[in-house]
Amino acid sequence: MQETILNVENLQVSLPTENGPLNAVRGLDFTVNRGEMLCIVGESGCGKSMTSMALMDLLPKKAQCQADKFEFLGQDLLHMPKKTRSRLRGLNMSMIFQEPMTSLNPSFKLGDQLTEGIMTHQHISRKEANERAIYLLNRAGVPSPDERLNQYPHELSGGLRQRIMIAMALMCEPDLIIADEPTTALDVTIQAQILVLIRELQQEFGMAVIFITHDLGVVARIADRVAVMYAGQFVEMASVKAIYSRPQHPYTRGLLNCIPIPGKTQSGQELATIAGVVPSLIGTPQGCAFANRCELAKKQCCETIPALEQREGQHWVRCPVTLYPVKEAS
Ligand SMILES: Nc1ncnc2c1ncn2[C@@H]1O[C@H](COP(=O)(O)OP(=O)(O)OP(=O)(O)O)[C@@H](O)[C@H]1O
Ligand code: SF4
Ligand SMILES: [Mg+2]
């Protein structure tokens, strides 16, 4: 039996704007098991980062966050004292951001930044903390790791800085790492190396990872399970195998048509696009948020918001139109 470490029900995040509340996250339900890689995929502005910020307790001050259940390691994240939450974030949960320079302080040496968290939370000596940092930098593929401790962030390339961030996220041996578009700012060859590294380290250290991306090609390489997000909601959630072999939601199918699939897409074949634009997240839509872009939309799609329903196995879909009878993917 797999251990559930994160259990979220009806997570909602809204931000006040001049035109009314912007509902960035509109009722997410999901769990994450120990040691699994859950990929959240969706286009720009669909609420991926707001979800990760809600988990890390790093939302903008004016944001409102609520949930029916928001449990990490059996503890209620919403109602615990700030100090406990911050300790949990330092010790058991960590984050890798898209651009390392936003989380690395340019005026401190990397050694101090790598060891600060573990020295605060685990009260180990500077020598032990440095040894762990050197070990993890080595594992993260950083050459001459001991010399890096005395360097400043600006002295390294983008790829090396991201490796440093990965080592930093592992310093306290967290149960969960949230990686928000960690490879988007890197060029393609470095991106591939970092993906392999994250997958290897995740399996070696047995932690769970929530990997956020807009790129289904990335998802195929690393995910165990995939949640497809659209306009603040999950529209489909299933194993990576099921998402690629039997996508159910018209949005997921549209996304898959936009990327080349090895063995299926022919050389020179034009890739599809999804016509139309994402609806405004201000206020509450009347019906299905995808209706204005969906080729299968019917009158009733614009009247009621479809629920995320379980099909066979652990395949969840927010669309009552069954595209295929779902069988376990072969
Ligand atoms: N500080 C803020 N104040 C008001 N609205 C915000 C703020 N930050 C983000 N938003 C809005 O919240 C919605 C969700 O944003 P979010 O950053 O979570 O999207 P995302 O899926 O991470 O997109 P991307 O792929 O571009 O990173 C968007 O409509 C965005 O414009
Ligand atoms: S509910 Fe209707 S509009 Fe929404 S995805 Fe399904 S068919 Fe399309
Ligand atoms: Mg984002």
214 Cβ inside 6 Å of ligand 1: yes
Q: Please tell me the predicted confidence (pLDDT) of residue 277.
A: 85
Last residue of a domain, one of 173, 193, 211: 173
Sheet strands (E) in 16-103: 22-33, 37-41, 64-66, 69-72, 75-76, 93-96
Assess whether the C-beta atom of 301 lies below 6 angstroms from ligand 2: yes
- How do residues 150-178 score in pLDDT, each as one tens digit? 999 999 988 899 999 999 999 999 999 99
Domain check: are 55 and 153 in the same one? no
Report CA(300)–ligand 2 centroid distance (Å).
9
Q: Which domain holds residue 163?
A: 104-173
**Alpha carbon 160 to chain centroid, angstroms:** 21
Pair 258, 301 in one domain: yes
Residue 260 confidence (pLDDT) above 80 = no
In a domain, 324, yes or no: no
- pLDDT over 50 at 254, yes or no: yes
- Say whether both 164 and 182 belong to one domain: no
Q: Model confidence at 322, in pLDDT bands (50, 70, 90)?
A: low
Average pLDDT, the chain: 90
CA–chain centroid gap for 250, Å, is 22
Q: Is 32 in contact with 6 (CB distance < 8 Å)?
A: yes
CATH number at residue 296: 3.40.50.300
pLDDT at 156: 92
Residues 285, 319, 12, 175, Cα dihedral to 10° = -160
Are 194 and 287 contained in the same domain? Answer: yes
In this prediction, residues 51-63 reach a mean pLDDT of 96
Q: What percent of the chain has pLDDT over 70?
A: 96
Is the Cβ atom of 70 under 6 angstroms away from ligand 2? Answer: no
Over range 227-247, report the average pLDDT: 95
The reply to whether 157 falls in a domain is yes
**Nearest CA to 185 among 202, 210, 162, 163?**
162
Q: Is 102 in the pocket of ligand 1 (CB under 6 A)?
A: no
Query: Is the separation of the CB atoms in 59 and 246 below 8 Å?
Result: no
Out of 173, 205, 232, pick the residue that ends a domain. 173
User: Does ligand 2 have an atom closer than 6 angstroms to the CB of 297?
Assistant: yes
Quick: pLDDT tens for 177-232: 999 998 887 788 888 888 888 998 898 888 999 999 998 888 988 999 999 999 99
Q: What is the pLDDT of residue 211?
A: 96
The verdict on residue 330 lying in a domain is no
Same domain (yes/no): 237, 143: no
In terms of Cα–Cα distance, which of 118, 119, 121, 145 is closest to 134? 145
> Mutation test of ligand 2: which of 233, 236, 296, 311 has the most ligand atoms closer than 8 Å to its C-beta?
296
Q: How many domains, the chain?
A: 2
295 in a structural domain: yes
Rounded-to-integer distance, Cα 160 and Cα 204, Å? 21
Give this prediction's pTM: 0.93
* Domain shared by 193 and 241, yes or no: yes
Last residue of a domain, one of 158, 173, 188: 173
Give the confidence band of 33 by pLDDT, cuts at 50, 70, 90: very high
> Is residue 98 one of the residues assigned to a domain?
no
Q: Are residues 250 and 220 in the same domain?
A: yes
Q: For residue 330, what pLDDT is reported?
A: 44
Same domain? 165 vs 229: no
